Amino acid sequence: MHPSSEAGKVNKGRSLEAMEAFHTLLSFLAIRLSPANEQLLCETAKEPPPDGGEWILQALWNEGRLRESSELCTEEGNRVEIIHPGTWNSEAGPDFLEAVIKLDGHTKRGAVEIHRHVNDWFAHGHDKDQRYRDVILHVVWNGNTEKSVPGQLPPCLELEGCLPSCWNELFNQLATVGYPYSRRVSPGGCALRAAEVDDALIGDFLTGAGLTRFRRKSRSLLDRALAAGFEQTAYEYFCEVMGYKVNREPFLNLARHLPLRSLQEINAPLSRLAVLLGSAGFLFDPTVEDQAATPAQRNLNRELWHRWWSSGMPPICLQWQKSGTRPANLPERRLIIIWKLLEQWNYRPLELWRRGLPENLSPAAAIKHLRNIFSISSDPEFSRLLKLTGAKGASLGTQRILDIAVNLLLPLMQAWANQQNSLSLQRWSEEVYLNLPRLQENQVTRKITHRLLVPASRQQEIVKKAVQQQGLQAVDRQFCQRFISDCGICPLSNQQMFAKSLAGN
Ligand code: SF4
């Protein structure tokens, strides 16, 4: 097939997609603004949503289909004003993140959880789940509860009586469009501005934003390194990154309470592992029979327990998140991998990273060398230790390694270069950073892509490197979060300010 006809097909596909996305946006605005719908908002729905229809309540919350603010009250009698419904969370945890509401005039920002019935809070185990501790509003169809536990439930807003009488039609309408992601996260005010600018300019803007983010990260790592030392900083943030999404905080706290120096002072490798696992609370008391453990696991645990006990190191109070985690991602398994890498790096991670990535490497060669730094040498003892967690094999995937390079290794190398006044190393670390391939999408990059780019598939031409993804995250931090997603006051929705931001890079 001739290349130009192929390109024509792609363009046609893209413009169809663009029309579809704008159609979605227009119908979304029409639902919100039509006077007929405003009228319907004053009437009351009587029927509960159909079984399994929790997503419909979520869609209604997302669409802002609730009665005007002055009439909304929590079950506790506090007036509720919805400033922003937040971002629909497609991952584990509460349904909406970063919502903004006013409770009796006091602004609150946090997560919102939505259920058919108030008791679902307990039925789904949210009362015992740390991820739900910041929920600012529990939105339910029915707020009657037999289980009254004051102080343990977030403020509850009952929807029955707040919805339009036409909700069945609305639900049908929502079901017809299948409620795609593009409707969950609608285009922001910046999307109209970005639509007027060509791909290359937006790409440059995101590259500049990503580079600024890199330099800021590097400065903040330098601040920490000046206080705690470079090796300790490398260890702390390496542990944090190994916490992935849900266990970053406990891993960082573990590294701060159990510093590298304490581990260096312990002689035997197995004793260092015992101290890491024991301090983190991952060893079980061998005098108490653990039915779930195999005899081999019990023997290994007993051996490590005695080593940890004789070290005299106290356990550290850490809030680990394990529910819904696959065995391969359990924090104890990650801790064994951290220990193994620290052993390979002789407890001097930054020194090893610098030796593994000499300045004379081209960016492409440096990216290849990253894998060597994080490859884990397998031996029978290590395999035996992994059995403690029931997991087989251990290696860091390419995505995780790139993530560590973007968020820690390269910015920390630049911080070190700053401190050493090495201009060439500073330039080299930025050069490698600018060449890193794009990472997997995460919730933030996906959200901002849909806010900024219409159609979202435009990103294929714009976001080709990790630095541009970092630029998307910078837009979220500096604009969406700062202006609490209120596009009306955000500079990026203003034509002149948008142009100025593009020119600024
Ligand atoms: S707050 Fe700003 S950056 Fe975020 S979607 Fe709205 S206009 Fe775009």
Residue range 429-452, pLDDT digits in tens: 999 999 999 998 888 999 999 889
Asked whether residue 160 is assigned to any structural domain, the reply reads yes
- Whether residues 232 and 378 share a domain: the answer is yes
- Domain shared by 297 and 364, yes or no: yes
**DSSP code at position 316:** -
Is residue 455 reached through a cis peptide bond, with omega within 30 degrees of 0 on the bond before it? yes
Q: Which residues contact 134 (CB under 8 A, 6 or more apart)?
A: 94, 110, 111
Choose one of 371, 397, 423: the last residue of a domain: 397
Look at residue 455 in the predicted model and tell me its pLDDT.
83
Question: Ligand 1: which residue has its CA nearest to atom 6?
Answer: 487
For residue 172, give every residue at least 6 positions away whose Cβ sits within 8 Å of its Cβ, in sequence order, or none: none
Say if ligand 1 is within 6 A of residue 187 CB.
no
Domain that holds residue 43: 34-185
Is residue 93 assigned to a domain? Answer: yes
Q: Which of 128-137, 183-192, 330-339, 385-394 has the lowest mean pLDDT?
A: 385-394
> 370 and 236, same structural domain?
yes
Report the nearest atom of ligand 1 relative to the CA of 187.
Answer: 5
Q: Which residues contact 70 (CB under 8 A, 6 or more apart)?
A: 79, 81
- CA–centroid distance, 486 to ligand 1, in Å, is 7
Last residue of a domain, one of 370, 397, 424: 397
pLDDT in the model for residue 18: 45
Same-domain pairing of 165 and 197: no
Query: Any idea what the Cα angle at residue 328 is, between residues 325 and 334, rounded to 5°?
Result: 95
Domain count, the chain: 3
Give the global pTM: 0.72
Instruction: Assess whether 196 and 168 both reside in one domain.
Output: no
State if residue 483 touches ligand 1 by the CB under 6 angstroms criterion. Answer: yes
Ligand 1 contacts CB of residue 475 (under 6 A): yes
Mind listing the pLDDT tens digit for each residue in 23-68?
444 343 333 333 333 333 333 344 555 555 677 788 778 877 665 5
> Both ends of the chain: CA-CA distance in Å?
39
Which atom of ligand 1 lies closest to the CA of 448? 5
Find out whether the beta carbon of 210 lies less than 6 Å from any atom of ligand 1. Answer: no
CA of 106 to the centre of ligand 1 (A): 24
User: 366 and 241 in one domain?
Assistant: yes
429 within a domain of the structure (yes/no): no
Which one is predicted more confidently, 149 or 471? 471
Q: Is 493 in the pocket of ligand 1 (CB under 6 A)?
A: yes
Are 128 and 113 in the same domain?
yes
Tell me the per-residue pLDDT of 476-505, one tens digit each, with 9 for 90 and over: 999 988 887 788 889 999 888 888 888 765
Ligand 1 neighbour 497 (Cβ under 6 A)? no
User: Do 160 and 45 have their domain in common?
Assistant: yes
* Domain end point (choices 397, 427, 448): 397
Look at residue 145 in the predicted model and tell me its pLDDT. Answer: 65
Q: Is residue 3 scored above 60 in pLDDT?
A: no
131 and 248, same domain (yes or no)? no
Answer whether residue 92 is part of any domain: yes
Cα(484) to centroid(ligand 1), Å:
9
